[in-house]
Chains A and B, each alone.
Chain A
């Protein structure tokens, strides 16, 4: 570990070229429990009679899982995703804790088939099954039931999606379409970040992390019981994150400071009723690595911005769950979310109000029906600059939705058919229907074969519809040429038809294996491939110029196919190994650098070892193949990289936990993804971190 402390010195060494750039992988150190959990959920689902698991089978669950087992069968709703015939992974609290994970994107590196690339200290490109981009617009992300997918740019601003990591219960990741339940933009995946009930986060937690990245990160949380069965927690979190490095290993000025606070109330007035009220407020200040170079018509045709961005926002969510009986339950949820961001002299504000109701009930012996209604209103404003903005500068969207799903036990305990569809109406593309059919066959107790056919859509973002962005001014003779991107209000939705096939087997109690394959066909993919040019006359003292616009259009079709594999081996009770591999092929029927696939091959091996005297040793070895990324007006090839992460955790006393982690140890630094804002690149350095966590 000592060696890593010198990594800063190492960065200063020149001579590292892009081609030899290294690796990085997550803070992933180790651990295999998430797979176990995912598969356990699936095996468990075989016992159709929910109150009667096979004798002794619950002994395979960990204490944490037992704590979440319901004495009555109402837990079916909660375990539903894991029971689904779909490509599912679950990241547990134990994974996050052991690996010293501090950000949600880093947690997602544990899942095969997700492409996670860090752009700088506060920006990430996270995608599933291809289409890697900072604004990956085919992946839906929810935190405690609140969508954080931004309609403005079409994607997730990962830098402001933060939670108290210690309070996360689990992160459920579904690769592939989830549109029949979640609606538009759940095209290639759905990520559900689920925090614990306030009832399960009682007492005080203080966590302080310091290292080469977090300088420091401080989390304070307090939970208690306000009245009988009424629990609360409040928290505050702050981090000062040091910048990453430039391609020559110098310190890059992309540091970030964030403060966030929030609360959660959980009231369980009876066994049948649960109420939750929660909210957060945050604000951050992000410096960009490097001066932005923005196009201007007057000479010298560009203007330098020393860019500092401010993001802020907040949300308030209420949820009521009522169980009518073991076979019927209702969830009603409403939230408000505000997000503001400033980038390169432009400012966006989006206010979202969302209402959602779901009812689940059994119809006869064989049908399990879920249906729901939803309404969402989004009000957006964009204060543009001369470089970029929206035309018109505001939007007011109304989204009406409903869904119906039937889980049919065709042959009880053996063959389950799930049919469902979302029906939505939005202001731009009108009615959207997103059906899916899924079939799961469990020929023996320890294996499941499943297949699915689904249709999903990505609805155009405000940027796709309304943007103008001046990208460059070229002093060509005899006139200047200004190159810009323009939105197109006549866009149709992108449509995906997805075919999936999966197989899971628990070979022995200690070895299990999961594979999922997919073939996706996309139509109407949106890209700025339209071209127009015009001559713009400007009276003196200005100069006339040629305006070349790239216009967003439904450019054409594309296909992706690939597979994800995961294997778990519990070598002993104290030593667990997990191996992941994913493969991805990407093809477009048209040419554009704007849409890219992702790494063709990714692999990861993780080990978690419990040592005597309450020590835990965790390690991860990862490989990410080379991939293309959009870069300026073109594209660049990101070299492949490997990473080694190692961590040691010591439970010094019942209330005190100490952790020491070294991340990205294989190489001094490596590139993961370029920024859309600049052609200057930020690389991810080797890091060390130490954390002390005190609970009382």
Chain B
């Protein structure tokens, strides 16, 4: 039922055609991150299984992510956008985005995701401090990102050197 509610909010998001450019850019980043990360084999049931991008709570991307998913594939996998409300939902996605409005819950959520092989992406200092893997950062009027390489490695995720090279900072913090 929660999923139903969230789907509702996702559709509400689509109805609003005004997605800020910031979230258009961030949505494109999520897609790019998925391209540059290698998940452990156990994360996919087979070679055709879709890659699932989850959005925790309310979806700030409007129709951006759905539009990207409808037009793109990654390594032959289709992309599925999944609203996430519970930790059980969260463990079933490959990439999970936390918007800053969930800062209060992020530490607990990240702790619960240990060992699941989920790539976590956020947009706040709190997310980074709590051990999130890729943090999107506003710098003047640009969007950049930082990577906690150790957090990703501990989940069996391989982040490509290309992406690490472009990161504003690469940290190795537990």
Contact = CB atoms under 8 A, between A and B. Distances in A.
Contact of A509 (B29, B71, B149): B71
B144 interface: yes
Given A63-B166, A64-B166, A653-B161, A70 B72 contact: no
A126 interface: no
A62 B72 CA distance: 14
Interface in A250-268: 268
A654 B149 CA distance: 10
Nearest to A323: B141
B67 interface: yes
Contacts of B71: 56, 59, 509
- List of 6 A-B pairs having minimum Cβ-Cβ separation, nearest first: A56-B67, A58-B28, A55-B67, A651-B161, A59-B68, A56-B68
A53 B170 contact: no
B141 A53 contact: no
Interface stretch (B4-12, B17-25, B125-133): B17-25
A660 to B, nearest CB: 17
B152 to A, nearest CB: 12
Contacts of A71: 20-22, 25, 138, 141-143
A71 B28 CA distance: 13
Contacts of B163: 63
B24 A67 contact: no
A536 interface: no
Contacts of B114: none
A36 to B, nearest CB: 14
25 contacts: A53-B24, A55-B62, A55-B63, A56-B67, A56-B68, A56-B70, A57-B67, A59-B28, A59-B32, A59-B68, A59-B72, A61-B28, A63-B36, A63-B166, A66-B29, A66-B32, A67-B142, A69-B143, A70-B141, A71-B138, A72-B21, A573-B74, A651-B161, A651-B162, A654-B161
Contact of B32 (A63, A68, A199, A509): A63
A66 B28 contact: yes
Contacts of B29: 63, 66
Contacts of A614: 160-161
Contacts of B140: 268, 271
A163 to B, nearest CB: 20
B160 A58 contact: no
B79 to A, nearest CB: 10
B146 interface: no
Contact of B141 (A271, A573, A653): A271
A695 interface: yes
B102 interface: no
B110 interface: no
Contacts of A54: 67
Contacts of B66: 56
B123 interface: no
Interface in B55-71: 62-64, 66-68, 70-71
Contacts of A271: 140-141
Contact of A67 (B19, B36, B144): B144
A407 to B, nearest CB: 21
Nearest to A97: B165
Contact of A69 (B64, B142, B170): B142
Contacts of B149: 654
Nearest to B63: A55
B164 interface: yes
Contacts of A62: 32
Contacts of A56: 27, 63-64, 66-68, 70-71
A74 interface: yes
A59 B27 contact: yes
A642 to B, nearest CB: 32
Contacts of B142: 67-71
Contacts of B170: 654
Interface in A55-110: 55-59, 61-64, 66-75
Contacts of B138: 71
Nearest to B69: A56
A679 interface: no
Contacts of A509: 71
Contacts of A654: 149, 161, 164-165, 170
A321 to B, nearest CB: 11
Given A67-B166, A654-B165, A74 B141 contact: yes
Contacts of A651: 161-162, 165
Interface string B107-142: 000000000000000000000000000000011111
